[in-house]
Structure 1
C-alpha cells in the first residue's frame, strides 16, 4: 500500500482535529470534516442530495427509540430518590467494616447504575447522597470523593449503559448481547472496588474512622433495608430480566423501565414538577446525542469515501500480529483520548476508523465494545479532564480537585487489572452469549 493512498483520509482526520482545536462543537466538527471528505471525492450534486436526506435517514430507526427511553428512566429514577434507598441498604450491610460507608457508596452507585445508564448522573446523585454522610463521619475527602467519582463510572458499564447503546448504534453490534456481556464485568468491577477500598483502608487507616462500636444491625434489619430498595429491583428486573430471558426487545424493555420509573415519581411529592423537569432534561440530552449521531454519520461517510478505514484495516491485518496484540495497540489511544473527550463523542469519533480494523483482525466486536467502555471509565477519572471528578467537584466545591484525582488512582489500577482479565479470559463476558 502506498502512503499516497492514505493522504485524502488523513486530511479529513486533520480537518476534524483542526475544527476541534478551534473549539467548534463536536457534532458540527464531525459533520464539517465529513462534508469536506464528501466534497473532495464526489461531485457536488451527489453530495447535495445526500446531505438533504441524511439527517433523517441516519436517525429514523426504530431501535434508536431506546436511547430517549433509557434517558427518561434515569431522570425519573433520580427524581424519585432511588439512589438514597440503595445507599441506605449498602450502609446497613457494609457500614461496620473498615471503609464501610465508602463501600456502601460503591454499592449505591452500582445499584443506581442499573437504572441510570449515565456515569455523570450516577456521580452527581451519589455526591449529594453519600459525600456529606462520609465527611460527617470523618472520612478523608480523598477516599470519600474518589470512591464516588470512580463508582460513577459503573453507570457506563452496568446495563442499561448509555455508552453501550451508542456503541451499538455506531457499529450495529447487538445491543442485547452487549447488555448481557456487560453485566458480569460490571458486577465484578463493583466487587473489586469494594475489596480495593477495604485493602486501602487497612493499609491507610487514617482514611476512614474506625467502625462504630454500637450494636450491629440484625439480619432482619439488613433484609428490611433491601426491601426498601424494592423499586430499584423492579426496575432492573423490568429492563434486564425481560431482555435476558427474551421476553422483550431492548426498546420494549426500555419502555417498561421508563413507565415504572414514572410511576415511582408519581408516588412522591412534587410529581408534576419532577415529570416536567425530567421531560425537559431528557429532550435536551436526546437532542445533543442525536446531533452527535448525525455528525458522526457524516464523518463516517466522508471518511469511507476516502477509503481510509479499509486501507488501514488491510495494512494492519498484513502485519500478521495476533488479534490481542492488535487490540492492545488500538486501545492505547483510547486511554489518552478518554482524558480529553467524553465517552459518547469518543465512540462516535473513533468507530468509523477502528471498527473495520477490529472486524478485519477477527476480534470479537462485543468484547471490544466492553474494552472501549472500560477505556471510557478510566478516562472519566483521570486528569486533565476526568469528567466524573469535575462533576463531584462541581457538586462539592469544598473538596479539592487534587484530592478527588488522588482518590481515583487506586480505582484506575483496578480498572486496568480488569481490562487485562477481560483480554486474558474473555469468557468472563462472553460465556452467556450465543449466536
Structure 2
C-alpha cells in the first residue's frame, strides 16, 4: 500500500474504533503507531512515539493547563459565580426577561475567570435557574439560557480550548486569547438579543402564565460593590497581567490560581478535604488533556508522513469545492461530530487534517481557530451528546426534569451561535483585530 492509502485507512480505522467505544486517546495512539509502522517499519514507529512523548509534553507552556483548571475549580467553590449573578440580577432585574440577560452577562464575566464551560453550567444551573423559576420563568427557558450562555466559557479568555488550538496550530496563546474577546462579546450580545426577541414574540416560551416582571434581587449598592471586588480583582490580575505584558500565559495562570485560592480561603469555603479533592480533580483533568494532546501529536505526524493532508488540500482547493466550500464542510462536520464526542477530542482529531488545508487556502489561522472553537461549542448544546445539557440535568437534581426539555430550551441559542459563526465568517476582523494589533 502507498503511504496515502495507509493514512486514509488509519482515519477510517480511528472512526470505527471511536464508534465501537474505544477511548479516543488510546485509539489515536494505536492507529498512529500502526500507520507509521506500515509506512516506515516498527523501529521508526517506536522511536517516533518516544520523540512525540518527549516533544509534545515538555513545553513550559503546558503548565498553563493545570493552573487554569485549578483556578476555575477554586473560583467555583468560592461562590464567585453566585456573586456575579447577584450583581447582574440587581443591575438588569427590571429589564424585560432581565434575569435571562443577567445570566448571559454573569456567564460572560465568570468565563473570563474560569475558562471552562462545564464549570459555568454547573454553577449557574444551581444559582440562576432557581431564581428565574421563582420569578415566573419557564423551566425550559431557564435551563436553556444557562446551557446556551455556558459556552462562553470556552471562547472568552482564558479558554482551555484556545490553549489546545494554539498548541496544535503553533500560534501564540496570548494572541488566541485576544482573538476570543471580540467573538465572545458578539456571542453574548447575540444571546441577549435572542432572549429579548423570545420575550417579545414568544412569551409562552419564556414566562409562565403568571410572572413577576419587576423582580429584582434585594441587595444594596454597598453589597453590589462588595460582591464585585473579588471578580474585578481576579480579572485584573489574570487578564491585566497577561495583556499588560507583565505575565506570560503560564505565569498568568499561576497568579490566577493563587488569587482564587486567597479568595476561597478568605471566604472560608475551602477546608483540607475539599482542597485535596480539587487538587486531585485538577490532576485528572490535566492528565486527560495532555494525554489527548500527545495522541493527537502522534496522529498529526503520522498523517504528515502519509501525505494525506497534502492530497486533501489538492482535492479541496484545486477542485470545484474551493476554499470556502472546504470551510463550510469543515464547520458542518464539527457541528455533526459535536453530537457524538467532546469538544477537545473533536479538535484533536480534525485539526491535524484541517490545519494544512486551511494554511494552503490562505486562511488566517487565528480566525480559523476562533471559528473552530465556536463551532465545537455548538456541540455542547446539540443532542444526543450535549455535554452542557447533561451537566445541568445532573446539577439540578430534579427527577421530573427531562433532558429533552433542556435541549428544547437551548435550541434558540444554537441558532444564535450559527448566526454568530456566519458574522465572524463575513467579518473576520471581529476575531483578528485585537490579535493582529
Q: TM-score range by the shorter chain?
A: over 0.9
Which shows bigger deviation, 325-334 or 376-385?
Answer: 325-334
1:216 CA drift (Å): 9.4
1:288 CA drift (Å): 0.8
Would the alpha carbon gap of residues 201 and 333 (structure 1) be closer, same or farther in structure 2, given more than 3 Å must change?
same
Would the alpha carbon gap of residues 248 and 83 (structure 1) be closer, same or farther in structure 2, given more than 3 Å must change?
same
1:320 CA drift (Å): 7.0
**Alignment check: 8 A CA contact 1:145 1:392 kept:** yes
Question: Which of residues 1, 6, 13 in structure 1 aligns to 2:11?
Answer: 13
User: In the alignment, what sits opposite 1:375?
Assistant: 375
| Alpha-carbon distance in 2 for matches of 1:344, 1:320 | 31
1:406 CA drift (Å): 0.9
**Alignment check: 8 A CA contact 2:155 2:374 kept:** yes
Would the alpha carbon gap of residues 91 and 301 (structure 1) be closer, same or farther in structure 2, given more than 3 Å must change?
same
Would the alpha carbon gap of residues 65 and 103 (structure 1) be closer, same or farther in structure 2, given more than 3 Å must change?
same
User: In the alignment, what sits opposite 1:172?
Assistant: 170
| Alpha-carbon distance in 2 for matches of 1:177, 1:215 | 39
Question: Which of residues 391, 401, 404 in structure 1 aligns to 2:403?
Answer: 401
Would the alpha carbon gap of residues 427 and 322 (structure 1) be closer, same or farther in structure 2, given more than 3 Å must change?
farther
| Alpha-carbon distance in 2 for matches of 1:216, 1:383 | 34
TM-score w.r.t. structure 2 length? 0.93
User: In the alignment, what sits opposite 2:112?
Assistant: 114
User: In the alignment, what sits opposite 1:231?
Assistant: 230
User: In the alignment, what sits opposite 2:332?
Assistant: 332
1:210 CA drift (Å): 4.2
Q: Does 1:268 align with 2:267?
A: yes
Over the residues paired in the alignment, what is the CA RMSD in angstroms? 2.1
1:47 CA drift (Å): 1.8
| Alpha-carbon distance in 1 for matches of 2:269, 2:233 | 22
| Alpha-carbon distance in 2 for matches of 1:258, 1:74 | 8
**Alignment check: 8 A CA contact 2:3 2:39 kept:** no
User: In the alignment, what sits opposite 1:304?
Assistant: 304
**Alignment check: 8 A CA contact 1:240 1:253 kept:** yes
How many residues matched?
A: 431
Which secondary structure does the structure 2 equivalent of 1:234 belong to?
helix
User: In the alignment, what sits opposite 1:60?
Assistant: 58
TM-score w.r.t. structure 1 length? 0.94
User: In the alignment, what sits opposite 2:240?
Assistant: 241
User: In the alignment, what sits opposite 2:435?
Assistant: 433
**Alignment check: 8 A CA contact 1:93 1:222 kept:** no
Which secondary structure does the structure 2 equivalent of 1:201 belong to?
helix
Report 1:27-426 matches (<5 A): 27-206=25-204, 207-208=206-207, 210-213=211-214, 221=220, 224-272=223-271, 273-319=273-319, 323-396=323-396, 397=398, 398-426=400-428
